[in-house]
A and B are shown apart, each in its own frame.
Chain A
Amino acid sequence: MIKTDVVIVGAGPTGLFCAHQLGIIGLKCEIVDNLDKIGGQCIELYPDKPIYDIPAVPECTGEELTNNLIEQIKPFNFNFHLNDRVQQLKNENEKWIVKTTSGKKFQTPNVVIAGGVGSFEPRKFTTKSAEKFDGTSVLYSIKDKTIFKDKSVAIFGGGDSALDWAIELSDTSKVSLIHRRDEFRGAPASVQKIKELSEKNIINLFTKYSIKDVKGNGSLEEVEIKSEDGKSKILKADYVLGFFGLIMQLGPIAEWGLNLDKKAIPVNTENFETNKKGIFAIGDICTYPGKLKLILSGFHEGALAARGCFKYARPNEKYRFEFTTASNIIKDRLGVK
């Protein structure tokens, strides 16, 4: 059990800046994120897209913003728990017991939910029959590529993941690549490579097709694909891989007994606390009259939530407001002279 002052759910810009504010006021925190990297939507959805409305930063990309935020909280040495998701919150003796999917446990008086629109999960096939094989022969990510050796693999998708795996697996597997249109959104070099492999009949390429059905007695045997004008084909397949990007799901957050308004958590604007004592929500996931889904609003919300956390983490102390320019205590915390 890890004891800390605050658990932050979500390592996007809002969660990161909230961690900074906690560090500044002398609190410790642990940050949990479902993705395998820090940055949230900024990194997953638009690492290269320029952002123009960060105060005093005329232009920066999602990746630059993330790197700067990581740099800014370095002095505090907070722990990140990536590839992990907060599953359960339970109240025990005025403290929150936070459990993650991987089995980690935290004890904390405060939880700050900075979860964006929820956690990122792979978009799955909509075909009902695919569920039966989910995790065995219908896969959305690859952990061990050796299982595909000498097998027939049908790969669906048109982005880099689909193209890269089609190219890589074509060495040792019989690969079919199926995409709903004839343009690909992957890197031009990969698209070129796929065309070459298709011309040499190393890869079977089917464009303007999508999945219709998967079939098999016990194990997967074939996949049926259909075109928009109703043509269908049957391909032999031991494995079916889908790479349709990630979607955001509210996930377990919906089960923590918090008030929800559509997919957002109502908060008060004084300290961004939810209807549960010690649970705060900031950034895109919170809502209140006038809410703007801007990164800068998330920063403000994180700063106030951090002060809200202080009350429960240091019940016997009084929070004293200080400026970073003037306070020697803060300079100590930042490790600057």
Chain B
Amino acid sequence: MAKIKYIEHNGKEHIVDVQNGLTVMEGAVQNDIPGIDADCGGSMSCATCHVYVKEDWYDKLTKKEMGEDDMLDQAYEPNSNSRLSCQIMVSDDLDGLSVYMPEKQV
């Protein structure tokens, strides 16, 4: 279990407990947190669960798999802190993670 903070583009924060084994995307969708669309349902086939992760946490996450950057090319305003939240698997190690949402997903 990890406490994850989802921060909307307007600054509104949502802190929820997400079970190990779920993805950061699923944590948002299951808790009705706005700002993460996840149109493809987590198959890394769209770029609508895009989040920004600040450096301190970014470096602690498991590295991007092949294909994630390709999808991020198609996200809304990606930068070097961008991740697809469907590719971040939750574990105890992620307790305290903050993710920032882009202004919009599409």
Q: A residues bordering B, Cβ < 8 Å? A: 41, 45-46, 49, 117, 123, 126, 157-159, 179-181, 183, 185, 228, 244-245, 247-249, 263, 293
Contact = CB atoms under 8 A, between A and B. Distances in A.
B106 A157 contact: no
Given A45-B46, A117-B39, A228-B80, A180 B106 contact: no
Contacts of A157: 73
17 contacts: A45-B40, A49-B43, A117-B39, A159-B70, A179-B73, A180-B78, A181-B69, A183-B69, A228-B79, A228-B80, A244-B73, A245-B73, A247-B48, A247-B74, A249-B106, A263-B39, A293-B41
Contacts of A179: 73
Given A41-B40, A180-B78, A293-B41, A248 B73 contact: no
A249 B46 CA distance: 12
Interface residues of B, number: 19
B45 interface: yes
Contacts, number: 50
Nearest to B70: A185
Interface of B: 37, 39-41, 43, 45-48, 69-70, 73-74, 76-80, 106
Contacts of B77: 126
B74 A123 contact: yes
Interface of B is mostly: loop
A182 B36 CA distance: 27
Interface of A is mostly: loop
A46 B43 contact: yes
Contacts of B70: 158-159, 185
Given A45-B45, A46-B43, A180-B78, A158 B73 contact: yes
Contacts of B80: 228
A36 to B, nearest CB: 19
Contacts of B74: 123, 244-245, 247
A306 B33 CA distance: 35
B91 to A, nearest CB: 25
Contacts of A249: 106
Contacts of A185: 69-70, 73
Contact of B106 (A183, A228, A247, A293): A247
